[in-house]
């Protein structure tokens, strides 16, 4: 069974641009969560999607948005990029919502904003 | 506010040593996750536990609900165990994880 895949793996953008990152969960998994990892803040929760609905959102500005499609694939978008958005963006999938579900992480997309 | 604290931040060991990493949390939990992150970024879920103890190979995770504390132990450590170990606690009934800052483990041959 294929793992969680994320594309692209690396991305370089300039300030003011926008970016779209993609995450394909493990087949059969319906929940996708997104996380941002920076050296200063560590891992922080961005969003959680289940059945095409955003179930939870972290403490990030409205420039960060996302969506989930009917096949459970998910995208996140960051508009008007800032230098501080440079980070590793990770998505994780699980079978369902709830604290007892193991999360499976993708390899991440490393975004550099110049 | 839900806080997850890990100690130590950095740990250096010699191959073969017994390793303990600690995680304390501030609110009652339904489950606590231990994750491993190797250089390059990939994260692997090691354990998810809500009570007692779990073992997988040389790795053992324990949790004490009353004391709001969990430990990750590595027996007979090996250089390939070098990684950052992160504990995380889900908030409420969702997958919204709150993470500790991580413990960077270096095992020297």
Q: What is the pLDDT of residues B19-64, one digit of tens each?
A: 999 999 887 777 899 999 998 778 999 999 989 999 999 999 999 9
A104 contacts in B (CB within 8 Å)?
45
Measure B42 CA to nearest chain A CA, in Å.
5
Using pLDDT thresholds of 50, 70 and 90, give the confidence band for residue B2: low
CB contacts < 8 A, A to B, total 71
- Average per-residue pLDDT for chain B: 91
pLDDT for the residue numbered A81: 97
Kindly indicate the confidence band of residue B91, based on its pLDDT and cuts at 50, 70 and 90. confident
The candidate with the shortest Cα–Cα distance to A92, out of A100, A101, A103, is A103
**B97: which strand partners?**
B90
Cβ-contact B85, B105 below 8 angstroms: yes
A55–B94 CB contact, under 8 Å: yes
For residue B8, whether the previous peptide bond is cis, meaning omega lies within 30 degrees of 0, is yes
Pairwise CA distance, residues A90 & A79, whole Å: 18
Which residues on adjacent β-strands are paired with residue B59?
Answer: B56, B74
B108 vs A1, which has greater pLDDT?
Answer: B108
Distance from the Cα of A46 to chain B's closest Cα (Å) equals: 8
Return the pLDDT at B94: 65
Max CA pair span of chain A: 40
Indicate if the pLDDT at residue B1 is higher than 70. Answer: no
Task: Work out the average pLDDT over B96-106.
Answer: 92
Q: Closest to B95 (Cβ–Cβ): which among A42, A44, A48?
A: A48
Q: Does B84 touch chain A (CB under 8 A)?
A: no
- Cα B104 to Cα A5, A22, A37, B53, B87: the distances in Å are 26, 29, 15, 23, 12
Burial label, B107 (beta-carbon count in 10 A; 0-12, 13-18, 19+): buried
> What pLDDT, on a 0 to 100 scale, did the predictor assign at position A99?
64
Q: Is B27 on the interface with A (CB under 8 A)?
A: no
Distance from CA of B97 to the nearest CA of A (A): 6
pLDDT at residue B95, as a whole number: 66
CA pair distance A33, A54, nearest whole angstrom: 10
- Over its C-alpha atoms, chain A yields an Rg (Å, rounded) of 13
Residue B92, pLDDT score: 65
pLDDT tens digits, residue range A55-102? Answer: 888 999 999 999 999 999 999 999 999 999 999 999 999 998 766 788
The pLDDT tens digits for A18-67 are 999 999 999 999 999 999 999 888 999 999 999 999 988 899 999 999 99
């Amino acid at each position: 069974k294929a793992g969680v895949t994320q594309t692209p793996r690396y991305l370089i953008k300039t300030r003011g641009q926008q970016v779209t990152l993609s995450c394909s969960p493990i087949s059969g998994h319906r929940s996708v969560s997104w996380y941002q990892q920076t050296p200063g803040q560590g891992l922080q929760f961005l969003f959680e999607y289940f059945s095409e609905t955003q179930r939870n959102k972290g403490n990030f500005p409205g420039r960060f948005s996302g969506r989930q499609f009917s096949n459970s694939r998910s995208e996140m978008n960051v508009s008007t990029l800032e230098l501080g958005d440079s980070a590793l963006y990770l998505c994780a999938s699980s079978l369902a919502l709830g604290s007892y579900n193991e999360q499976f992480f993708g390899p991440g997309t490393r975004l550099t904003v110049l | 506010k839900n806080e997850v604290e890990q100690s130590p931040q950095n740990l250096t060991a010699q191959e073969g040593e017994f390793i303990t990493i600690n995680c304390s949390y501030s609110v009652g939990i339904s489950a606590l996750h231990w994750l491993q992150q190797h250089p390059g970024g990939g994260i692997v879920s090691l354990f998810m536990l809500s009570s007692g103890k779990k073992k997988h190979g040389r790795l053992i995770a324990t949790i004490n609900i009353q004391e709001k504390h969990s430990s990750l132990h590595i027996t007979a450590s090996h250089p390939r165990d070098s990684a950052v170990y992160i504990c995380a606690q889900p908030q409420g009934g969702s997958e919204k994880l709150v993470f500790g800052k991580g413990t960077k483990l270096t095992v020297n041959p």
